Amino acid sequence: MNHLPTPENPLRIGTRASPLAMAQAHMAAAALIASHGIDLAALEIVPMTATGDRIQDRALAEVGGKSLWTRELDAALDAGAIDIAVHSLKDVETIRDLRFVLGAMLERADPRDRLVVREGIDAAKIADLPPGARLGTSSPRRAAQVKRIRADLETVLLRGNVATRLAKLAAGEADATLLAAAGLDRLGMHDVGSVQAAGLLPAASQGAIGIECRSDDRATLALLAAVDHVPTHLAVAAERAFLAALGGDCRSPVAAHAHWQDDGALRLDAEIFSDDGADHAAGHVLIDHPDAASTLAHDLLSEAPDTVRRLFAA
């Protein structure tokens, strides 16, 4: 593609078909239109159902991990059926196929979690939940963090898109759940749940939207460069470098968040946990050299007890 896309030769935007993924694909399209003045008719959104969306009754770790969210999009991108793929970066494997490259990240939204409770429960934070309450989640990070705050709480598997999880909550399958604030906001659910400001460091990449293309597609890479939010890209890259150095996978309870300080420095905060949250190691580092994130990962692993260290392959 040696020129801007046209209605006759549109840029095909691949996305999962879930409502949140579709909203994020439309955000990517809007960013491209704003940056390049592209005609809306020159952008074609191509939704597809990911394997991870089809499997709702088991944890990802049991059935293939994060690749279940990217497999179909990767195949379409590799085959030339789409030109770019829009992802929730939290759901994308840390180590990616070299055929693809993250050409852009949109500006990050609120990376925090919100606590959502079923009708009849009055709780704005985890500490307020009734004794022995059931908190539904499929995230090892959230499960470990919740158990660390309240060892009496029971964590139960709760999977599905946002609407599905809220419906399961309303049906009484759990008393509470944690959902990403960014996802709720992108769906217009600004008043759903209460933000958890303390005790719940986010997952790496939470709140970030990534746009991938083929590594050898220079024209599309040039298009994406104009919508790349560099501060977000640098922060999320630090978080993903930390994960890569840990050797963790979707079974590993890990939290990492890089943020820009008032003095212009990029600080990475991170925690790794045992499955039950009873043990953990936490630390932070300024991202002031290329190996800073991996150094933090190795430091946390070296000081972590075996109950934590055995969950990581580094």
Q: Which of 74, 91, 175, 228 is catalytic?
A: 91
Distance of CA 78 to the CA centre of its chain: 23
Identity (one letter) of the amino acid at 139?
S
CA distance readout (Å), 40 to 14, 76, 191, 219: 16, 22, 31, 19
Which residue has 């470990």 as its token pair?
144
Surface-to-core class of residue 110, CB atoms within 10 Å of its CB (0-12 exposed, 13-18 middle, 19+ buried): middle
Distance spanning both ends of the chain, measured CA to CA = 41
Q: What does the alpha-carbon distance between residue 299 and residue 222 come to, in Å, rounded to a whole number? A: 38
Name the DSSP class of 186: H
- 294: its two tokens: 């991996």
Name the DSSP class of 128: G
SS3 314: coil
State phi, psi for 233 to the nearest 5 degrees. -60, -45
Q: What does the alpha-carbon distance between residue 175 and residue 152 come to, in Å, rounded to a whole number? A: 14
57 is catalytic: no
CA distance readout (Å), 35 to 9, 40, 147, 223: 19, 12, 45, 9
Residue numbers annotated as active site: 91
